[in-house]
Every structure is written in C-alpha cells, then in structure tokens.
Amino acid sequence: MNLSFDLEHSLKILEDLVETPSPSGYTRDVMKLAETYLAESGAELTRTNKGAVIATFRGEDDSKSRLITAHVDTLGAIVKEVKPSGRLKLDKIGGFNWNAAEGEYCTVHAADGRKIRGTILMHQTTVHVYRDSGKAERSSDNIEVRLDERTGSADDTRALGIEVGDFVSFDPRFEKSGGYIKSRHLDDKASTALLLELAARLKESGTKLPHTLHLYISNNEEIGFGGNASVPENAVEYIAFDMGAIGDGQSSDEYTVSICVKDSSGPYHYGLTRHLADLCKKEGIPHKLDIYPYYGSDASAAIRAGFDVRHALFGPGIESSHALERTHTDSLEAAARLLRAYILSPLAED
C-alpha cells in the first residue's frame, strides 16, 4: 500500500485555509471547510461543543488509539472601541506584536454578515504632521483601523453595522516563491493542510493502521484551550502537529521537520519524543530537535487539563512566527513523511 504525499494537493488545501478568515473565536467558516475535506476521506466525524472536529480512522487495535491535532484558529483582533473619529480601536486576539500587523489590510466582520475593508495603521502615521511618527509606541492606544468607507464619526461607523465585539481578520498574502511558501497564518494552517491531505491519502490507499487514529482539528489553540477537552478515552498518545520556531539559538529551520523536546510548559514525553526522532533516523527524514522557550501547544494544554496521555510536538519549521511567516516545501515534505512513519509505527515505549 502506497501512502504517498501529494505536495500540490497540500498547497491547494493550505491556500484554501489561509484565505478563509479564522481568528480565534471566529472559526465557523474554516471549521466547515476542514470538515468538508475530512468528510471526503470517509472518516467518522465528531463535532465538539467548542466547535472542533475529530476525524477517526479505525485501526487493527482499537483498544489504544493515537490523537494528532493541528489548529486552524489564527491571530487577529476584535473591535474594542468605535472612536469619535470613526476609526476603530482594537484589542489583540492571540500573542503578537502590533508592529507585525501595522500597515496590513484587514476585514471587519460585522455581526450582520457585512464585511468592511480597512487598513491597520498607527494614529500618528502621517510623517508630515506627526513629528514622533517613527518613535511613537506601537500599542493598542495608537494602533487603529482606517475604514474604506466615508466615515468621520462614531455614528457614521455604527451606521455601517460595525460595533464593539466585531472580529477583525488580517489579509494572509499567500504566495509561492521558489519553493518557499509565504503567508500569514502558516501557524498552524500549514500543519492542518498536511493532516487533511493525509486523510485523503488514507482513503485513497486503503492503508491499514496498527492503531486507531484520531485527527483533531482544533479551533482555540492561540488562546490556550483548543485541544484540552474531548480527547477520546482510549487515546494513549497525543501529538501536537504544530510549527517549529526559528530564530537565534534555535536548531529548527525551514527545510526539515522540527521535533520539540521542551517548551514553556516543560519537557514533552521522553519516550514518545525519542520514538519520533528514531523514526526520522530510520526513514532518513531530515529533522531537528529543538526547544521553544516562549511556546505552548494543544498537547501541553491537554496535559494541564489532566489527560493521562504521552504527549509530543513536531511540525514544519516556520520563519517569523506570528508575523509574515514563511516555510519551504522541503519542510512540509519532511513533516508529512514523519506523520506517515508515525501512524504506521508501533506505540512508543515509556
């Protein structure tokens, strides 16, 4: 049986995902999209009360199962205040720096379904007026949305249907460039695309799995509680399939799969982590072991919630996380290869 990897299909899914706005708390559309892809795989589908989707593929041993999660919720913002000028004050959704969003085009998702376009800017943007435009703090007090509408007052803006609590999504700017994939929200839609592509290949190949597999598409990871509930009772291994963090002092890069041994929550399960590294060595999969100092995952959230599982974390390396992100198709392929090696392998030892 050939459990192959289709890069072009993965990139098509990835583009569909990143072009579907989904800041944490506003994920209905992207979850429907993920569910549509999973339904085509013939998996057993379960929708949780929090809106996540779990796709189950029965294996030869159904008494002990594996769970792999990736998340589709992203960074974004929410309207904090309609200012007297008619512009919008924002509050962050997820952890990022305002300079990473400054100058980006955005969409305000009004409660009545209207979508109003705008640009995220500093209030003091105009250098011909504001002497401190370059020095002013990039903060929620200074960042605002300039709407692409004729509005000069709070009443004008409210007449458009915009109100406090409306979600704001950032344009992804998806682009393929010489083997690189550039886009906002590769965290974690790159991994999600690989999981959805894997689901399609499982159906196509008729692969028999040694253990039942649950693919958990999470929708609240960026705010800390995406995969901390609805874990199947017989799950013994829990993999967070999420991005590898790149920067000074890091081992991860854009060309290999990154296996995290520790993040801000503490070390991941030693036996399961070593199992992943050993699979890479056995299969010749380019990989790096790494520590992510300012990072938490759905797997660590599940551990905090009290689930008795072995947990681990791996995924493609993503440059400039929570900003204008980038990865390479080599990293996507390495991550996809480890996924396949893992789900076909025996359970890890303690």
pLDDT tens-place string over residues 194-207: 999 999 999 999 99
The answer to the question of whether 322 is labelled as a binding residue is yes
The answer to the question of whether 128 is labelled as a binding residue is no
pTM: 0.96
Contact 239, 316 (CB under 8 A): no
pLDDT tens-place string over residues 19-52: 999 999 999 999 999 999 999 999 999 999 999 9
Contact 298, 195 (CB under 8 A): no
The answer to the question of whether 112 is labelled as a binding residue is no
In this structure, whether the domain defined by 76-170 belongs to CATH 3.50.50.60 is answered with no
Q: 127: helix, coil or strand?
A: coil
Q: Which of 221, 319, 325, 333 is catalytic?
A: 221
Q: What is the mean pLDDT of residues 317-331?
A: 98
Q: 31: helix, coil or strand?
A: helix
221 catalytic? Reply is yes
Average pLDDT value over all residues in the chain = 97
Can you tell me the distance from the alpha carbon of 127 to that of 114, in angstroms, rounded to the nearest whole number?
Answer: 33
The answer to the question of whether 242 is labelled as a binding residue is yes
Contact 327, 194 (CB under 8 A): no
The CATH number of 7-74+185-343, from 3.40.630.10, 3.40.50.300, 3.40.50.1980, 1.10.3720.10, is 3.40.630.10
CB atoms within 10 A of CB 132: 9
Q: Where are the beta strands (DSSP E) in 83-203?
A: 88-93, 105-109, 115-122, 143-147, 167-170, 175-177, 180-183
Residue 1 pLDDT: 46
With residue 215 as reference, give the H or E element that holds it: strand 211-218
149 has pLDDT over 70: yes
Residue intervals of the chain classified under CATH 2.40.30.40 are 76-170
Residue intervals of the chain classified under CATH 3.40.630.10 are 7-74+185-343
Q: What is the mean pLDDT of residues 241-264?
A: 98
pLDDT tens-place string over residues 68-107: 999 999 999 999 999 999 999 999 999 999 999 999 999 9
Point out the least confidently predicted range of 57-61, 133-137, 215-219: 133-137
